């Protein structure tokens, strides 16, 4: 990662790309004219609440528990429908067997879908990321092949917050994940005692 200092006023808004991306996964992060640019998205420096690095972990345990719960419910429904079908269609054996075939084929397809969904989370990689939180709900995240570069970048962005006239640009990697709901975001808080606690980290 190469930090390039730029004299104030060199870029117009929106600033043109300082360096072309080396690959489809590369993205440019730059500070110019009191704006933080992450690719094509601009964040005013005055609205940035926190800049930090953390390891984005997949929700593996929750994925396994969700798979087991779905499997239990699906099998319970399939067995229940099979029992109802065998009792109801005693007079018509062909109708009953057709219903049972449909129920178990549908259950098998559902179980296969649940298994693929679980494996997509269990086999997902963890990512060391740089997160930039704003005063609103927006959060920008990027990653890098070298985690030390992200740690250094926290200092550069923090310096730009203290000195809004600072300008620099770096090339980092675009964060690509299958679904944000499959990952832990934010802070981990350990609570001891009490019921219904809500942990808020500022």
**Domain check: are 130 and 88 in the same one?**
no
Quote the Cα angle for 118-123-126, to 5°.
120
Which of 39, 42, 5, 38 is closest to 166 using CA atoms? 5
Could you tell me the CATH number of the domain that includes residue 145?
2.30.29
**Domain check: are 72 and 163 in the same one?**
no
**Domain check: are 117 and 136 in the same one?**
no
The residue among 8 and 93 whose pLDDT is bigger is 93
Angstrom distance (rounded) from CA 81 to CA 102: 10
**Domain check: are 66 and 53 in the same one?**
no
Residue 31 lies in a domain: yes
Number of domains in the chain: 2
Least confident range from 56-60, 73-77, 115-119, 134-138: namely 134-138
Residue 77 lies in a domain: yes
Residue 89 lies in a domain: yes
User: Tell me: the pLDDT tens digits for 75-124?
Assistant: 999 998 888 777 766 555 666 567 778 888 999 999 999 999 999 999 98
Highest mean pLDDT among 5-9, 94-98, 136-140: 136-140
Contact 63, 122 (CB under 8 A): yes
**Domain check: are 41 and 135 in the same one?**
yes
pLDDT of residue 191: 45
The set of long-range contacts for 70-76, using a CB threshold of 8 Å and a minimum separation of 24, is 70/110, 70/111, 70/114, 71/111, 71/114, 74/107, 74/110, 74/111, 74/114, 75/107
User: Which residue has 């559902």 as its token pair?
Assistant: 110
**Domain check: are 47 and 73 in the same one?**
no
**Domain check: are 104 and 136 in the same one?**
no
Range of the domain at 35: 26-57+126-178
pLDDT of residue 22: 52
**Domain check: are 32 and 130 in the same one?**
yes
Angstrom distance (rounded) from CA 67 to CA 54: 27
Which residues does residue 36 pair with via DSSP β-bridges, in sequence order? 31, 43
Residue 193 lies in a domain: no
Residue 189 lies in a domain: no
pLDDT of residue 135: 85
Is residue 167 scored above 80 in pLDDT?
yes
Residue 21 lies in a domain: no
The residue among 95 and 143 whose pLDDT is bigger is 143
Tell me the H-state helices in 123-173. 147-162
Query: Stretch 65-81: mean pLDDT, rounded?
Result: 93
Cα 158 to Cα 31, 52, 96, 125, distances in angstroms: 11, 9, 69, 28
Angstrom distance (rounded) from CA 114 to CA 83: 24
Rounded to two decimals, the pTM is 0.63
Domain boundary among 95, 122, 149: 122
pLDDT of residue 93: 61
Contact 43, 132 (CB under 8 A): yes
pLDDT of residue 69: 96
Burial class of residue 198, CB neighbours in 10 A (0-12, 13-18, 19+): exposed
Angstrom distance (rounded) from CA 149 to CA 172: 9
Query: Stretch 25-43: mean pLDDT, rounded?
Result: 86
Is residue 142 scored above 80 in pLDDT?
yes
**Domain check: are 46 and 78 in the same one?**
no
What is the chain's mean pLDDT, rounded?
77
């Amino acid at each position: 990662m190469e930090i390039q200092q730029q004299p104030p006023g060199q870029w117009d808004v929106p600033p043109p790309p300082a360096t072309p991306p080396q690959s489809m996964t590369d993205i440019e992060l730059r500070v110019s004219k009191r704006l933080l640019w992450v690719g094509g998205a601009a964040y005013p420096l005055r609205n940035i609440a926190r800049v930090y690095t953390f390891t984005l972990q997949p929700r593996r345990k929750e994925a396994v528990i969700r798979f087991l719960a779905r499997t239990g419910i699906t099998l319970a429904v399939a067995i229940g429908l099979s029992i109802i079908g065998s009792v109801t269609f005693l007079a018509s054996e062909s109708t009953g067997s057709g219903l049972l075939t449909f129920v178990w084929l549908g259950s098998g397809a559902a179980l296969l879908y649940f298994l693929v969904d679980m494996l997509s989370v269990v086999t997902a990689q963890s990512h060391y990321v740089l997160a930039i939180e704003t005063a609103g709900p927006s959060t920008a995240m990027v990653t890098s092949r070298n985690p030390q570069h992200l740690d250094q970048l926290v200092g550069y962005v923090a310096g730009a917050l203290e000195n809004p006239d600072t300008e620099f640009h770096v090339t980092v990697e675009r964060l690509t994940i299958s679904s944000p709901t499959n990952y832990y975001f934010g802070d981990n808080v350990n609570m001891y005692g009490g019921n219904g606690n809500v942990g808020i980290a500022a």
